[in-house]
Amino acid sequence: METAANQALIAAVRGALRVLANPERAAGAQAYMKSAIPSLGVRVPDVRRIAARAAAEFPPASPGQLRATVLELWRTSTFREERYAAIDLTGIRLVAKDPDMLPVYVEIIRTGAWWDFVDGVAARICGLLQAHPVAVSATIRQWSRDPDFWMRRAAITSQLCAKGATDTTLLAAVIEPNLADREFFIRKAIGWALREYAKTDPGWVEAFVVRHGDAMNPLSRREALRRIAAWRAPQ
C-alpha cells in the first residue's frame, strides 16, 4: 500500500511561506531565476527555517511517509519556494542514509531541470554515496552518461561535500565522458567539482587538468585551477 503524505506538514509549510510572501522581492527572484514558476519572494534561509519548524511540529511517521510528503509538495507546488521546502525536507535525519530516496532525487532533478533544484539535492546524494558507496557509485556512473544533461550535472556534483572522503576514481569517471560537452551547466559543473576538490588535494586536480589537456573546455579548466593559482601566489 502506498504511504499517504503528511497533509498537516504540507499545509504548515505552505501557510508559513505565504505569511512571509514579499511581492517586490518575488518579482526580482523570478527574473533572476529566469523561471516560469512564480516566486513568493521568501528568502532561502527563511524557507529552511519554515521546513524545519513544520517537520518538528508535524513529524513524518516513517521514511515512506516523508518520501510521499516530499513528492506531493514538489508535484503540487505553485511557487518556487514550495519546491525549495520539499528539498529541505529531504534533509531530515530519518532518511539521511536511506537509498530509497534516490528515486525522489531523480524526479526532482528531471522535473526541476534547473540549476537551483539540481544543486539543491547534491549534498543529499553525497550523503547517500558515503553511506552506500558501492551501490550509489554505480548509479552515479550511469547518471554521468544519461541523455538528460541535468542528470549528468548531478553526477558531476555528487561529491562536492565529500572533501577527504572523495572517491577520485569516481570523480574522474563522471567527468571524463562529459569533457567535450558544450552545455554551459556541464562545463561549469566540471570546473566547480574540481575546484572544490582542489581545496583537499590540489595536486590531484592539477594532474587531472594536465592529463586531459585540450580536451577540457577553457571554462572548466579555469574554474578547476582558480584556487590552485591563488594557493600558489606569493603572500
pLDDT digits (tens, 9 = 90+) for 88-138: 999 999 999 999 999 999 999 999 999 999 999 999 999 999 999 999 999
- Interior angle at CA 105, CA 197 and CA 71, nearest 5: 150
Grid coordinates representing 175 are 567527468
* Distance of alpha carbon 102 from alpha carbon 26, whole angstroms: 31
* Distance of alpha carbon 93 from alpha carbon 96, whole angstroms: 5
Grid coordinates representing 50 are 519554515
pLDDT reported for residue 35: 84
Taking 90 as the threshold, does the pLDDT of residue 154 lie above it? yes
Grid coordinates representing 85 are 521546502
**Rounded mean pLDDT, 139-161:** 98
Can you tell me whether residue 41 is helix, strand or coil?
Answer: coil
Spatial CB neighbours of 75, under 8 Å, sequence gap ≥ 6: none
Q: Sign of the CA dihedral 189, 190, 195, 196? A: positive
* pTM of structure: 0.94
Please indicate whether residue 229 or residue 161 has the higher confidence score (pLDDT): 161
Average pLDDT, the chain: 95
pLDDT reported for residue 2: 58
pLDDT reported for residue 126: 98
Taking 80 as the threshold, does the pLDDT of residue 157 lie above it? yes
Residue keyed to cell 558515503: 130
